[in-house]
Structure 1
Amino acid sequence: MLSFDDPPPVGEAAMPPVGEAAAGTVSSGNGCDPDESRCGRDWPGHTFLGRIDRRLRSELLGLGQIVRFTGGTIMIIEGDTDRDLFILLDGVCKVTGVTPHGAQALLAVRVGGDVVGELAAMDGEPRSATVTAGGAVTARRISAADTNLFLGNHPAVAAEMNRAVAAKLRWSTRRRVDYGDQVKIRLARVLVELAYLHGEAVDDGISIGVLTQPEVGALIGAGEPSAHKALAELRAAGILSTRYRRIVIHDLPTLGTVADGDR
């Protein structure tokens, strides 16, 4: 059976149970944290922050307070009634939901520049998913009242927030439609999308980090043995390699061909 190189220490869990979270460190203040000169940085163009005008972005990031979370900290709990919005500045988060059978399913991955918790902030309903820090995460936490006031006064930012919500709905719809295809095709499609959205250029390709193989399987709706097999086939073909909590794509065009079902 295929396994990641350098297995985690004994007892390390891929995902902490809901409600069992380490405490995040909070730095209060309205402006940029003195040690966090991020307000002027550029985020990827496909993210929420990357699509907002620099002046409006600076104004938005002046709201709320800077919060920092260690890996494994649960930032948002599914079903809770708090309504704060989190704008991710750095780091990676995993979005999970509880299935009807009581199991946790990995729904998405979010990175710096993305926003989480916006649905509860906008409609006042309970949280629809759990968000867990996949490593060190820095975010701007903004109250629902301040969020809605700002969006009401800045239609351009409100439009980008709606666009972010629509993109997430499209992602979930594609995953449901994909379930009728072979596991290897579903895996290739998700990896191509993750490479575009969250990939990091390295010497031998594009690296996608912080996902374990079981989490990859959960993301494509496949059992761990099936995900292992599909990853093994792609690795044997030289398309990618797998390491501990990391997948490196060496041949993205060929992976795209697999995603199209042509190989």
Structure 2
Amino acid sequence: MQPSSATPSLTPVEVLQAELRELYEEAGRPSTRTVASRSDGRISHDTVHRVLHRGVDSGAPRWETVEALVAALGGDRARFWELWVRCQEIVAATNDRGRGADSSDSADERAVDHDTSGGWPVTSLLGRLRSAVRQEVLGLGTTVRYPANTLLVEQGTKVGHVLVILSGAVMVVTRDDDGDEMVLEIIGSGSTVGEAEVVGHEPCFASAVTCGAVVVRRVASDEFLRLLYRRNDVLVALLGVLNDRLRWAYARQRDFLAHTAVERVARVLVELLREHGREEEEGWALKLPLTRIELASMAGMKPRTAERAFGALRKAGVVRYHARRDVLVPDLSALSRLAYH
């Protein structure tokens, strides 16, 4: 890529967007649908248009969006990562300067804030917050990138920080007395890891491992607790997230008592695909590198039972094994009917 024509007076967000547009021009101005197709389903053509042509008032896109767009256009991932991190650092510095004042919003400010999820998953912590509060949370701590299969927290240890996931996903796992590993849940972008342990001052009840590359804001425990004392809306949003996790756990317990192994693994797969899946030419696939054993463990199955359950799903034609994907679902509706008949 040639040096950007962006002037030094531009903000980091403006520089990032100028570089993205320049990359788009150098790629021959492909259609937004072509770019979306090249991204292997990671971004839609509407997202491509919004990122390339929206105004800077909306801030920098999420990293996973930038990463997918850069890859689809053949750009330098490392360079754009540096540009994106610079945008986050400016947000953090701005919020730091403003923390000396009272951070509570007036009724008028709340009335005019019509932002909803801001592009984050609506059930995540960040997706539940108003724009101004979300930016305050994103300004905490420092940005850290972890490669795939990194142990973030270890079962039985105490943590001194909370991780706010900016992109990627984290697998929460535990081991039983036989040494078999069980996946308890998947935590995606916009949510947190370690918040329950920090609030409860308890050791971690499970380990957390990255599913692929993950980018987080690493926030010190004291700083996170001060946020909760200062921002009741963050506390309420966090309670909503924890309530969803508790409901997920209750649902798995109920399924264990009332449904067959095949139905249980089908239900887990349907729910994961709805939140972490993408539709490809041959069907639905998870964006997460989970094995069949790991998927079935979320339904409370041992490895041997897991293989039998997936074998039955494959025989029923609702699941296929795939060279590039551990599991491929040709028809999500058919799998849903089997799971919830």
TM-score scaled by structure 2?
0.63
Trace 1:208-219 onto structure 2 (pairs within 5 A).
208=286, 209-219=288-298
| Contact 1:85–1:116 (Cα < 8 Å) also in 2 | yes
Decide which of 51, 55, 63 is 2:140's aligned counterpart.
63
Give the corresponding residue for 1:122. Answer: 199
Percent same amino acid among aligned pairs? Answer: 28
Give the corresponding residue for 1:257. Answer: 337
- 5+ residue gaps, structure 1: 1-31
| Contact 2:159–2:194 (Cα < 8 Å) also in 1 | no
Alpha-carbon distance between aligned partners in 2 of 1:70 and 1:59, rounded to the nearest angstrom: 26
CA deviations over 1:92-132 (Å, ceiling 9, x no partner): 21111122344322111122122111111211111111000
State the Cα distance separating 1:228 from its structure 2 match. Answer: 2.2
| Contact 2:123–2:241 (Cα < 8 Å) also in 1 | no
Alpha-carbon distance between aligned partners in 1 of 2:281 and 2:87, rounded to the nearest angstrom: 30
- 5+ residue gaps, structure 2: 1-83, 92-116
CA 251–36 in structure 1, closer or farther in 2 if over 3 Å, else same: farther
In our comparison, the structure showing a higher alpha carbon Rg is 2
Matched, 1:206 2:284: yes
Give the structure, 1 or 2, with the largest relative contact order (CA under 8 Å, sep 6 or more): 1
Alignment: residue pair count? 230
How well do the aligned residues superpose, as a CA RMSD in angstroms?
2.3
Give the corresponding residue for 2:168. Answer: 91
CA 213–254 in structure 1, closer or farther in 2 if over 3 Å, else same: same
State the Cα distance separating 1:38 from its structure 2 match. Answer: 11
Alpha-carbon distance between aligned partners in 2 of 1:213 and 1:35, rounded to the nearest angstrom: 38
Alpha-carbon distance between aligned partners in 2 of 1:203 and 1:36, rounded to the nearest angstrom: 35
| Contact 1:38–1:89 (Cα < 8 Å) also in 2 | no
Deviates more, 1:119-128 or 1:214-223: 214-223
| Contact 2:183–2:294 (Cα < 8 Å) also in 1 | yes
Give the corresponding residue for 2:76. Answer: none
TM-score scaled by structure 1?
0.80
Give the corresponding residue for 1:14. Answer: none
CA 83–128 in structure 1, closer or farther in 2 if over 3 Å, else same: farther
| Contact 2:151–2:210 (Cα < 8 Å) also in 1 | yes
Higher normalized strand content (fraction of residues): 1
CA 204–54 in structure 1, closer or farther in 2 if over 3 Å, else same: farther
Alpha-carbon distance between aligned partners in 1 of 2:195 and 2:293, rounded to the nearest angstrom: 27
2:321 is paired with a residue whose SS is strand
Give the corresponding residue for 1:221. Answer: 300
